[in-house]
Structure 1
Amino acid sequence: MIPRAASASLPPWLGHALRTQRGPVPWHAVVRGAMAAGPLLGAGVVAGRVSLGVVAALGAMLAGINDRPGGRRVAVRRLGVPALAGACGMAFGSYVVAGGQGIGGAYAPWVLSLVFAVLGLVAGAFSAVGPVASAGGTQLLVTAAIGAGMPLPEPGWQRALLFLAGAAWLILLRLLLPSPSPVTGSAGAGRPYRLDGERAAVCAVYEAVAALLDSVGTSRSTDRRAALTAALDHAQDALSGPRLRRHASSAAERRLHAQYRAALPLGEAATALAWAGVPLPERVGEGPRRLAAAIRDGGPCGPLPAPARSDAGLRALDDALLHAAEAFDSGAAKPPHGRRRGPADVLRTAAGPGGREYGMRVALCFGASVAVAQALQHPHWYWLPATTVFLVKPDLGPLVSRVLCRAAGTVIGAVVFAGLAALLPRPAGLVALVAVCGALIPVATRHFAALTAVVTVLVLALVMVGGEPQASPSRIGETLLACGIVLLVGHLPWPVPRGGRVQDRLSAARESAHAYLRHVLSGADGGVRDGAHGGDSADAEHRAARWALRRDAYRTLAEARTAIDLAAAELPTLARHSAGSEKVAATLESLVDTTTACAVHVDDTGRLPRRHAERIDALLAELTTVA
């Protein structure tokens, strides 16, 4: 892999394929991976029920792909929802084929393809809802193919329970094992390790605020504001897991809620100062850094340096620091809140342009790959549709990037496994190989090709432990065939407009930005004048609602930016369908930044400055021309 800076000079579709994520090795996830699939497979071998171990190890492996950094409790949803979907898929595939007496049985050749195409349409449409839904849709389709094609003696309901048990084992490890954290140190050694992920996320918010303040008036401020948005998104997710959503269940949790909420006005003031663009003294960022240190070390924040109260932005920052100091001392706060997606929002997204486009593409790829696999009559026919499911996922990168990485990763993994299989004793050596691959998955998720190589070795080892012969050549052949199917489908004419995913995200960002703007302008009547944190309860509720709307606006903008960046890295024939979306997103970002600056001035004076009003009018007019 090459650094991001070097890949910038390449064509976008090729640069994305060569780009890899960076960061420290997640050793705690590596340990969990080593203790998940390998031991489960070994237990099945020792008990003389190899098929049980294979299915359980498969559940642990797919859960391991979703095992990302973050709080323990939010990990229950991130791992558990896809695992439930995978168990349903395993049962569905098993009983569908059992009802037709298998491939070439009572079913006509096209019936199974049609059934799986319909399943792909539904799963693909709901995958557009968000990352957890996308992971759930993927596991549903992958396990449906496996349940239909893998020769296992257990009935469908037992396969589903075994798959779920394997995923549950990894979730249990995630909840019980201590995980090293950047906020765990000698000063905080007595704190509950179960909150390390949440504590690290909140600490990162304060560090991002300090970094934004340091960059005010420089070319780095835009990137630092985006980093603050990402940190706030991560912290919001970390604090929204089970038992953290409505009522904090311990003093430590209540303290984290207070610290997160205290960061919201700090982020607002820092964004307003960045919008103004006037460089600040170096000491201005010291306050948020001390607050971050207090979270990291578990001690008091101590006295915080106060900025000069020379304008509205600095006065808002000073008030926010005072409020944060009080919150850190008292630990009293309501849980963070924002607009949560209800069933209507989920259905609207699934039925929207992005859901329809993705659902149709998944349905065509999944159904076509099942039809081709039936025609080939290969013993591992289920590999072909399972591979197409991963290849068609847009959240794994642009289409050509996914295809290149999948092909390269499969070839590398198959060649490596062929060499290892000739040397390792069976089955003990293969069980150990599965454990090693499980440990490598958390590191390999930084690049799709690396993840593909590791998963290929693991899957081929599972197949061989299950009693089947070496399958590296057929794995390569079917992967290349799947790449061809997905490339062909990806470039076919469509009955629905292209770029639906980008348009969905931009529409959501536009709605959130306008809702935020309307709320801020509603306060520009002299009714909110007692400083950022004074006033009566109505003023406090007004500001709390404003901070929630601001979070929604920046979060939906970040999601739109991600979709736009992925679309821009497609081949020109596909990238052109999202042309102009970058300009819309930039205008929306300017509008939300300006609205934040307006909010700070309205709090300070109760009036909307003329400069701000003119800027908002200009941006709204620009949005009508670029829409």
Structure 2
Amino acid sequence: MPQPPAWLAHPFRWQRGPVPWPALLRGALGMGPVLAAGLATGHRPAAIAAGLGAMFATLNDRPGTRRVAAVRIAVPALAGALGFFGRLAPGWWALPLLTLVGLLSGAVSVAGPVCAAAAVQLLVLTAVGAGMPLAAPPWVTALCFLAGALWPLLLRLTVSPSRADGERHAVAAVFDALADALDAVGTPAAEAARRRLTGALDQADEALRLWGPWHRITGRPLLGRFAAAAALCEASVALLWEGTPLPPRVAEGPRLLAAAVRAGAAPGALPAPVSDTAARSAFDRAVLDATLAFADPVVPSVVPPRSRPGARPLGPVGRENGLRVAVCVAVSTAAALLLRADYWYWLPVTAAFLVKPDVGPLFSRVVNRCAGTALGVLLFAALPTRGAELAAVTLAGALIPLAGRHFAAQTAVITVTVLAFVSLGGDTRASGTRLADTALACAIVLVVGHLPRLASTRTSVGHRFAVALRHARHYLEHVLSGAPEGPERAALRRTAYRALAEARAAAETAAAELHADRNWLPVTARAERIVDATTACAVRLDHGRPTPAAPTAHRITTELAALADTLDGLTPDTPEAATAPADCRTLNDIVGELHRIRTLTDAR
């Protein structure tokens, strides 16, 4: 049976997972009490600002450790508070202000998820501050907004009985993902398992780095166990690259280590090693080092230095995204000001949410936004009587963590919440205009998003692949130089895999676009194979294989750099065709994947 196009199937995807009961409870306790406390003061603008702060904080309360959650809530809240000073540019003065803020917001949002959340809150609340009639000075509403965000943040910080509970679970998740990857060796599920392992490493790395220097002493055993997990992951990637199925008992060791991390105890007896290949020898040695890290709480631990490959705000991706956001918001603001003088902010706010690329492809965002807004308007209209806004906000807060698994459901919940705030502000006829404004904003974003300059995937995806290949080159150069295993190699490996993960996410989004002009997913698989082969090469060199000759290494890395320039839209010098020794499987695999990527890119 033929499969539907990706752009047609994507809008209806629902993220599965267990019900987040603690998050549902925090949502219910986070928004309703804040709004009730604000209303009790008798100052409705303060109550609305505090309610908005609680709503955005609840939206940013994602799964993760307490420290990670604190950053994800606090940084966007500070940026959002600045947005209320948009009131200083009323009427048509808001058009140049929102254009500039949109340009800045779009550029900054490519730097990472926290920056993206902060950027969209700054843009949205600048429009709200300029358009919503709040009878209070901007600094008062900004402080009330921060006060409203503070309560959900305090709830998030007090949810765990142990200060290191989230960090332990993050490190244990690495060992669990490692065991799943070992079970998948030699099967079609191996590549997906390796990507999940990379994601678990990234989450644990982020959680541990947010401990701060004052936690390095108390958390030293956990840091040592994470370092042992990172070493095990390098050896496991080599096993995945070899593709020889492993006996089930090989995965028992990481599972015992995961249970030991969660319990804070020793793992007990681990399966006996069978070192029949270089990758198995490396894995068995890493298991031995892991047992030492569990047995001795003061064993030296080295955590690789932080290195994030995220796109730069001033780079090609940041400039293009900033231009797209600025054009969408500017057109929406101008249309809104021409249509009505009051309550015009909904149109640019809708455009700001729609133009965010991290919530799915453009066509999917438009479909979900329209459906979610219509559902939210119907639900709000079904409230029994006026005065039920507080109950609606409390229920919506409880549903936000669950509704966040689908953009339409999240839009419906947010629409109910915002309509309740608007009703408290005195606009009791907002529902009908919200539907019309949403439809107009969707049309504007859909048209702008398909303009020739802004719709090509060459910049949004090709540049990310170029960045990933350049990090892969740095990693390969370090390996082929004969440098021993250490923190620098681990940092280069992690950075290369993280850059590949960002490129794959961009490629999957581009593949589901309505105007998908090229399929980048085959390039993704080839690039991942290059880094896997580099890791396998590092393991083999550590176990006595001779270092390749310098001219051979130079030709391979030069061709990798030239390929990155090609994907970046540059015109590189034509390098000498790379070749590898006939007896070196890893380098032959790298050269073969380079040629396949070159064939794929030349065919476009």
TM-score (structure 2 length as normaliser): 0.90
The residue number in structure 1 matching 2:552 is none
The residue number in structure 2 matching 1:189 is none
Letter in 2 for 1:236: D
CA distance, structure 2, for counterparts of residue 50 and residue 329 of structure 1: 59
SS at match of 1:379: coil
The residue number in structure 2 matching 1:482 is 441
CA shift digits 1:142-172 (9 cap, x unpaired)? 0000000111111111111111221122212
SS at match of 1:350: coil
CA shift digits 1:119-153 (9 cap, x unpaired)? 21111111111111111110010000000011111
Letter in 1 for 2:314: A
Q: 1:464 and 1:506, CA in 2 relative to 1: closer, same or farther beyond 3 A?
A: same
Q: 1:470 and 1:255, CA in 2 relative to 1: closer, same or farther beyond 3 A?
A: farther
Letter in 2 for 1:431: L
C-alpha contact (below 8 Å) 1:352/1:504 kept by paired residues: no
CA shift digits 1:466-506 (9 cap, x unpaired)? 33314211111111111111111112232796542212321
CA shift digits 1:561-603 (9 cap, x unpaired)? 00000011001x3x10xx2532322221111010111111111
Describe how 1:340-419 pairs up with structure 2 within 5 A. Answer: 340-341=307-308, 349-377=312-340, 379-419=342-382
Q: 1:335 and 1:501, CA in 2 relative to 1: closer, same or farther beyond 3 A?
A: farther
Matched, 1:238 2:197: no
Matched, 1:96 2:78: no
The residue number in structure 2 matching 1:167 is 149
Count of aligned pairs between the two proteins:
565
The residue number in structure 2 matching 1:313 is 279
Letter in 2 for 1:583: P
The residue number in structure 1 matching 2:8 is 14
Deviation at 1:315, TM superposition (A): 0.9
Q: 1:472 and 1:378, CA in 2 relative to 1: closer, same or farther beyond 3 A?
A: farther
Describe how 1:79-118 pairs up with structure 2 within 5 A. Answer: 79-91=73-85, 93-97=86-90, 103=91, 109=92, 111-118=93-100
C-alpha contact (below 8 Å) 2:50/2:145 kept by paired residues: yes
Q: 1:581 and 1:70, CA in 2 relative to 1: closer, same or farther beyond 3 A?
A: same
Letter in 1 for 2:207: A
Describe how 1:268-279 pairs up with structure 2 within 5 A. Answer: 268-279=234-245
Q: 1:303 and 1:270, CA in 2 relative to 1: closer, same or farther beyond 3 A?
A: same
The residue number in structure 1 matching 2:553 is none
Letter in 1 for 2:427: E
C-alpha contact (below 8 Å) 1:175/1:194 kept by paired residues: no
CA distance, structure 1, for counterparts of residue 525 and residue 37 of structure 2: 54
C-alpha contact (below 8 Å) 1:245/1:335 kept by paired residues: no
The residue number in structure 2 matching 1:587 is 526
C-alpha contact (below 8 Å) 1:74/1:240 kept by paired residues: no
CA shift digits 1:524-575 (9 cap, x unpaired)? 7xxxxxxxxxxxxxx4xx422111111111111111100000011001x3x1
C-alpha contact (below 8 Å) 1:365/1:486 kept by paired residues: yes
Q: 1:335 and 1:313, CA in 2 relative to 1: closer, same or farther beyond 3 A?
A: closer
Deviation at 1:225, TM superposition (A): 0.9
SS at match of 1:194: coil
Deviation at 1:233, TM superposition (A): 1.3
The residue number in structure 2 matching 1:560 is 503
CA distance, structure 2, for counterparts of residue 497 and residue 561 of structure 1: 16
Letter in 1 for 2:528: E
CA distance, structure 2, for counterparts of residue 495 and residue 15 of structure 1: 23
C-alpha contact (below 8 Å) 1:74/1:239 kept by paired residues: no
Matched, 1:521 2:480: yes
Deviation at 1:378, TM superposition (A): 5.1
Q: 1:335 and 1:601, CA in 2 relative to 1: closer, same or farther beyond 3 A?
A: closer
CA distance, structure 1, for counterparts of residue 215 and residue 228 of structure 2: 16
The residue number in structure 2 matching 1:152 is 134
Deviation at 1:40, TM superposition (A): 1.0
Over the residues paired in the alignment, what is the CA RMSD in angstroms? 2.0
Describe how 1:57-456 pairs up with structure 2 within 5 A. Answer: 57-91=51-85, 93-97=86-90, 103=91, 109=92, 111-178=93-160, 193-241=162-210, 244-246=211-213, 248-249=215-216, 251=218, 253-331=219-297, 332-334=299-301, 336-341=303-308, 349-377=312-340, 379-420=342-383, 423-424=384-385, 426=387, 429-456=388-415
Deviation at 1:237, TM superposition (A): 1.6
The residue number in structure 2 matching 1:610 is 584
The residue number in structure 2 matching 1:619 is 593
Q: Could you list the runs of 5+ residues in structure 1 that have no partner in the other structure?
A: 1-5, 98-102, 104-108, 179-191, 525-538
C-alpha contact (below 8 Å) 2:45/2:141 kept by paired residues: no
Deviation at 1:309, TM superposition (A): 1.2
Deviation at 1:255, TM superposition (A): 2.2
The residue number in structure 1 matching 2:560 is none
Q: Could you list the runs of 5+ residues in structure 2 that have no partner in the other structure?
A: 548-582
CA shift digits 1:434-457 (9 cap, x unpaired)? 111111111111000000000001
Deviation at 1:195, TM superposition (A): 2.3
CA distance, structure 1, for counterparts of residue 63 and residue 268 of structure 2: 30
CA distance, structure 1, for counterparts of residue 455 and residue 367 of structure 2: 27
SS at match of 1:554: helix
The residue number in structure 1 matching 2:538 is 599
The residue number in structure 2 matching 1:462 is 421
Q: 1:335 and 1:610, CA in 2 relative to 1: closer, same or farther beyond 3 A?
A: closer
C-alpha contact (below 8 Å) 2:324/2:454 kept by paired residues: no
C-alpha contact (below 8 Å) 1:128/1:501 kept by paired residues: no
CA distance, structure 1, for counterparts of residue 213 and residue 527 of structure 2: 31
The residue number in structure 2 matching 1:536 is none
Give the share of equivalent positions with the same residue, in percent: 49
CA distance, structure 2, for counterparts of residue 583 and residue 169 of structure 1: 46
TM-score (structure 1 length as normaliser): 0.87
CA shift digits 1:398-420 (9 cap, x unpaired)? 01100000000000010011011
C-alpha contact (below 8 Å) 2:307/2:495 kept by paired residues: no
CA shift digits 1:310-330 (9 cap, x unpaired)? 111111111111111111122
SS at match of 1:308: coil
SS at match of 1:351: coil
C-alpha contact (below 8 Å) 2:304/2:490 kept by paired residues: no
SS at match of 2:543: helix
SS at match of 1:193: coil
CA distance, structure 1, for counterparts of residue 66 and residue 292 of structure 2: 28
Deviation at 1:306, TM superposition (A): 2.4
Q: 1:246 and 1:514, CA in 2 relative to 1: closer, same or farther beyond 3 A?
A: farther
Q: 1:495 and 1:32, CA in 2 relative to 1: closer, same or farther beyond 3 A?
A: closer
Deviation at 1:22, TM superposition (A): 0.8
CA distance, structure 1, for counterparts of residue 427 and residue 600 of structure 2: 58
CA distance, structure 1, for counterparts of residue 277 and residue 234 of structure 2: 15
CA distance, structure 2, for counterparts of residue 374 and residue 582 of structure 1: 42
The residue number in structure 1 matching 2:20 is 26
